[in-house]
Amino acid sequence: MSEDHSAIYRQALLTLARDQQYCGTLEGADHRGHACNPLCGDELVVETRVGDEGDLVGLRYTIRGCAIASASARLLAEFAPTRSRSELEDGARQLRAALEGEALPPTLELMRPLLTLRGHGSRHACVLLPWQALAASWSEEGSGA
């Protein structure tokens, strides 16, 4: 990624982090998950609603965390609706792999701004925190909003 593109994507991350479109509680949520980054103290709660076909129909989040985790949560909230649990689990694995240097699949193109953090392994936990909260919402402990 060229320096020009990196600067553009860094600015995009800051813009996403400030976007409150998907922040807050989700009316009618049927799942809730929590994730915390013990290294920096970032905390995130994801609330989801699942449709009759088993796909996500809504996702909202509350966060106390850095701009990276906030931007990642914002992107996940846009990406997740209409996707199945299996698709979202695959997305989490593919995003982790892309952060480690693999190609970003076309289905995850929305996540491209997060790849500016490829060379910053210590920040990968911040990127993946929303995905961990989503996964926690599927566990017995995280279910039931």
Domain boundaries, the chain: 3-138
Both tokens assigned to 53: 């076909």
Residue 145 has pLDDT above 60, yes or no: no
What pTM did the predictor assign?
0.89
Q: What is the pLDDT of residue 141?
A: 47
Q: Whole-angstrom Cα distance, residue 57 to residue 59?
A: 7
Task: Give residue for tokens 């929590």.
Answer: 34
Q: Across all residues in the chain, what is the average pLDDT?
A: 91
Name the residue type at position 41. Answer: G
Alpha carbon separation from 49 to 16, 54, 109 (Å, rounded): 23, 10, 24
Neighbours of 136 (CB within 10 A): 20
Q: What is the pLDDT of residue 71?
A: 96
Residue 19 has pLDDT above 90, yes or no: yes
- pLDDT > 90: what percent of the chain? 79
Alpha carbon separation from 60 to 23, 46, 74, 106, 130 (Å, rounded): 6, 6, 9, 24, 11
Domain 3-138 in CATH 3.90.1010.10? The answer is: yes
- Give me the mean pLDDT over the 78-96 stretch: 97
DSSP output for 19-81? --TTBS--TT--EEEEEE-TTT--EEEEEEEE-TTSBEEEEEEEEES-HHHHHHHHHHHHHST
Neighbours of 114 (CB within 10 A): 26
